[in-house]
Amino acid sequence: QLDELKARDVAVLDVSRLTTITDQMVIASGTSSRHVSSLVEHLLVEAKRHGLRVFGVEGKPHCEWVLVDLGEALVHVLQPETRLFYDLEKLWSTPLRGQSSA
């Protein structure tokens, strides 16, 4: 769905072996704060339409980085500069100390 709304660089990470808080993280970029806000609003409408519970939304109204907690998935929608700075893909693909990546 985020692709259809012109979200950029959508990535889905399986983090079920790295954390107990969620199974998947979805990371996507919006082109501006307005675009990030629009992506999140559409995501919330679709979640409700599909009967998904939204446990929380963080990062509004500034919309540099908005996190939507859907329980089994955390959705991060960021502006490109913020995404580059925090590099969540690298952070969550690196095994924790004492864990193998296999």
Residue ranges and CATH numbers for the domains of the chain are 3-93 (3.30.460.10)
Q: Encoding tokens for residue 44?
A: 């919330």
Degrees, nearest 5: CA angle 32-36-64: 70
How does DSSP assign 42-73, residue by residue?
A: HHHHHHHHTT----EEESTTT-SEEEEE-SSE
Global pTM reads 0.86
Closest residue by Cα to residue 96 from 24, 14, 19: 19
pLDDT tens figures, 18-64: 889 999 999 999 999 999 999 999 999 999 999 999 999 999 888 99
